[in-house]
A and B are shown apart, each in its own frame.
Chain A
Amino acid sequence: MGNVRFSLVSRGVETLGDWNPQLMREIQGRLKLRSVFLTVLFSLVSQGLFLFWRYRTLDIRLGRCETAEYQKTGKDCVQTGTHYILVNWPEWWLQVFAWGSIFLMFGLVVGGTFMLINDLSREDRQGTLTFISLSPQTAQTILLGKMLGVPFLIYLAVLLALPLHYAAGLAAQIPAVKIFSFDLLLLASCLFYYSLALLLGLVGNWLNGFQSWLGSAGILMLLLLLKNNSLTKSSADWLFAFSPSVMLPYVARSFDVNRYVVALPFDHRNIVAWQWFTVPIGSSGFLVLLFALANFGLWAWWLWQPLPRRFRNPTVSLLGKKQSYWATACFILCSLGFSMATPSSAAGNLDLKMAVVIMAHFLWFLLMIVLLLPQHQALEDWARFRGHYRSAKGRMQRVNDLLWADNSPTWVAIAINLAIADIPIMAWMLSFPEQEHVAGVMGLLFNSTLILIFTLFNQVMLLRSISHRNLWVTATLVGPMILPTLLLIIFGVGPGQGGASLILLTPLSIAVIKDISVISALQMFVLHLGMIAGLTWQLNHQLKRFGESSTQRLLQRNVQTEQG
């Protein structure tokens, strides 16, 4: 059996169970002698190997301290007098601390998300999650238990590495409070990424277990992407707030002029110019910490909105319509703030800022379409039992449903979300020179109508009786986005060429809008509106059909037969 039978531990686990039964179950499932032994061994051996690796790179050991070149580059040796060369141990420990912190970050964030997605999707596939959801425990209790319990062995390994982490930091003359601030941000990032992992685990079971690899690899790529990137003074800078490594330069004294210039891993030295609504948050480590904590907190809170909904009822849309309006407002507030960094007069910079805002806007709305998407059955039931509103009061109810009810079609809600997002973006664009702001506003308008077309197309397609629904959701969103772009590339249509106005049918309209005549743009806009009108008619027609009772259908068929 091999179970660890420490009575003290068991008693502790029981007490824990009274607070959170799921946490108890997860710990009990993992507290096996073999797993614990292997984890402890892995953690200690990894730390040993890590220290050995750092020791091997010591300049003095490699005999590089005495060379003339060394004096220029200034590594971790200090020359005292004419003959004595000493190792600059604080500098060496700083390297150990920085590398160790990065490993901790990847281990905790990437490893933890993989385990959580994997565990939840497995439980979902096996059907055990249903039994837990039938218990009187709240979804929050269960999911929190999962979050704290599933990566239990990772926590154990990290706990064993903490003494080295703190010892290295203190030996590098970093105040304990600074080390703690980095750890606090790391914990906040875990809260965010683990919440994301829970959501991916709950919604992604159609990927047959692949979602754990996909999710954790995506997060790994994001963290790695931020390794060397410099600030763009656009909404893209917001991404830095999603990496705990942003705090590292402040902790590791990267800006200390007296420090030897040694490259540290994930040394976001340029983060010092980080701004949000022109507030220089990068000017102090404390502001960065506060902003990143608030950012992780806010978006973790948003991730916890769909989690209990989906846990309780797997057929409900991930986000309520009312929630989506607030979420869009938060998104615009966060992302636009980074584009409002100290204005630059350079046109190129403005173009980049606008392009980033419009692309972020587009990606956000693709996400919104997925989050708001009601199940086929919910739409059918809505059309069948509540879709017929003939009286004035009924029509009011229909409008109310389209605005607020979770099981109604989503295009009205998407349109309102577009208004919430577009008004502040347009206001921001109007502060640019005229030529720039006209192009920006036009690009945004084309983008918004395109999103409406995608929403309607997606809904029309998904109202058909189809199997593999999730694949269709992906196909109906990715297909219209990629196919036209691909076709234009194949036929060699690019900005400044004939037929460039066709690019307005893709999300890349901002790239060509300046080169297109007003007439062509107007024609394409009318085409967009025509597509919206056509798809709305088709959607309403489909909903009306679903709204018919069986008797109505039967009678209709009989009439058709008689006529035929």
Chain B
Amino acid sequence: MPSEIAVRTQGLTKRFGRHVAVNDLDLEIGSGEVFGLIGPNGAGKTTLIRMLATAEQPTLGDIYIRGQLLERNQTNADLKRLIGYLPDDFPLYEDLTVWEYLNYFAHLYQLRQPRRRQRLFDVLELVQLTHKRRSSVASLSRGMKQRLGLARTIIHEPILLLLDEPVSGLDPLARVQFRELIDILREAGMTILISSHILSDLAEICTSVGIMELGYLVEKTTLQQLYQALSQQQIQIATLGDLQPVEQLLGQCPHIKSWQVDPTTKQIKAQFQGNQEAAAALLRSLLAAEIPIYNFQCIQEDLEAIFLDKLDHKQVS
């Protein structure tokens, strides 16, 4: 676990009328962590991220970035230099070229020459838009615009990156490219807080996750601990022959709790609690019984399944 705390919130609360969007939230994210924020719509993820990005004022509570308090109604110039924020739907200046757009933000974040020029080239290369630097922002595809948005967010080398649904609306290829970019930024040592509905993406890039519901942070743990606590191992078996002998053998196996049969594809999905040796022994017994097995696969329940099946979440919108 990283020792330094990048973000800390204390009793953070945001109310909209009588509705409490974020409720007395205490959160700590260590430096270098990639923290995934998951939860149903209206759980308060976006409000939390907006408050951390200084785009929204909390009703109550404090936010500390690297131990420094974010003051209300102040410019907070030093702290703003440490934060990069990319919301899900961000507007761009379509009258500027890609270079002019990034150059403008580099100036806004007080980057000076010659570092500014170098940083612009570095960031453009990172988001693979070097060849588009003279193109008008209006002419970019959605994926390119998303990468340009990310480039704008990291132009000033923030230590904390806040990404709100960054891959929503992107095609699978653009999503993969975006995920790779996040990997590079993680390696560069940035602390990243990312919210997404595409939990498979989060599972691949996050070191820890927080689950929000009705404004509360109901769970905060490392991904490893979450899998250990809530994820079940399954074995998927497919046969060319009858399913009955397979079920018979599964019934004899002490590590199998239950199973579901799909008669059309002749596949069985069994809940398995043993280790790798026990799985090998099961496979051996199936083969010894001369069952024509053509698929035997150990699979772990993913983040999406855990979120949907194991957590009693409340959809609020």
The chain A residues found within 8 Å of chain B, CB to CB, are 1, 3, 14, 17-18, 21-22, 24-25, 28-29, 126-128, 130-139, 309, 312-313, 315-316, 376-377, 380-381, 384-385, 465, 550
Q: Which of B60, B81, B95 contacts A136 (CB 8 A)?
A: B81
B97 contacts A by Cβ under 8 Å: yes
Contact indicator per residue, chain B 77-96, by CB within 8 Å of chain A (1) or not (0): 11011010100001111011
B136 CB contacts on chain A under 8 angstroms:
1
Q: Which of A21, A29, A381 contacts B95 (CB 8 A)?
A: A29
- The answer to whether A312 touches B108 (Cβ under 8 A) is no
A135 CB contacts on chain B under 8 angstroms:
80, 105, 108-109
**8 additional contacts, CB 8 Å, given A1-B97, A134-B53?**
A14-B103, A17-B107, A25-B93, A28-B100, A136-B81, A136-B109, A377-B15, A385-B60
Q: Which of B65-87 contact A (CB under 8 A)?
A: 73-78, 80-81, 83, 85
Q: How far is A381 from B76 in the complex, measured between Cα atoms in Å?
A: 23
Chain B contact-residue range equals 35 or more
- The answer to whether residues A126 and B91 also contact, given A135-B80, A316-B73 and a CB cut-off of 8 A, is yes
A380 CB contacts on chain B under 8 angstroms:
15, 17
Q: How far is A420 from B75 in the complex, measured between Cα atoms in Å?
A: 32
B107 CB contacts on chain A under 8 angstroms:
17-18, 21, 24-25
B90 CB contacts on chain A under 8 angstroms:
127, 131
Write 13 A-B pairs (CB below 8 A) sorted by A numbering: A24-B104, A25-B104, A25-B107, A28-B96, A29-B93, A29-B95, A29-B96, A127-B90, A128-B92, A135-B109, A376-B17, A380-B15, A550-B18
Q: Which of A21, A28, A130 contacts B55 (CB 8 A)?
A: A130
Q: State the Cβ distance, A388 to closest chain B Cβ, in Å.
A: 15
- The answer to whether A21 touches B96 (Cβ under 8 A) is no
Q: How far is A376 from B105 in the complex, measured between Cα atoms in Å?
A: 34
Q: How far is A17 from B96 in the complex, measured between Cα atoms in Å?
A: 15
- The answer to whether residues A313 and B73 also contact, given A132-B108, A385-B59 and a CB cut-off of 8 A, is yes
Q: Which of A24, A28, A127, A138 contacts B91 (CB 8 A)?
A: A127
Q: How far is A483 from B76 in the complex, measured between Cα atoms in Å?
A: 47
* Majority secondary structure of chain A interface residues (helix, strand, loop or mixed): helix
Q: How far is A313 from B59 in the complex, measured between Cα atoms in Å?
A: 13
B80 CB contacts on chain A under 8 angstroms:
134-136
| Nearest 7 pairs of A and B residues by beta carbon | A21-B107, A136-B77, A135-B108, A17-B107, A136-B80, A25-B104, A126-B91
A137 CB contacts on chain B under 8 angstroms:
77, 108, 110
For B92, B93, B136, B152, the residue with the greatest tally of chain A CB atoms inside 10 Å of its CB is: B93
A128 CB contacts on chain B under 8 angstroms:
91-93
Q: State the Cβ distance, B21 to closest chain A Cβ, in Å.
A: 11
- The answer to whether A312 touches B53 (Cβ under 8 A) is no
B54 contacts A by Cβ under 8 Å: yes
- The answer to whether A312 touches B75 (Cβ under 8 A) is yes
Q: Which of B17, B55, B73, B92 contacts A465 (CB 8 A)?
A: B17
Q: State the Cβ distance, B15 to closest chain A Cβ, in Å.
A: 7
Q: Which residue of A lies closest to B54 (CB)?
A: A134
Q: Which of B59, B81, B97, B100 contacts A381 (CB 8 A)?
A: B59
Q: Which residue of B lies closest to A380 (CB)?
A: B17
Q: Which residue of B lies closest to A308 (CB)?
A: B75
- The answer to whether residues A313 and B57 also contact, given A3-B97, A127-B91, A135-B80 and a CB cut-off of 8 A, is yes
Q: How far is A136 from B110 in the complex, measured between Cα atoms in Å?
A: 8
B112 contacts A by Cβ under 8 Å: yes
- The answer to whether residues A17 and B55 also contact, given A135-B109, A312-B75, A316-B73 and a CB cut-off of 8 A, is no
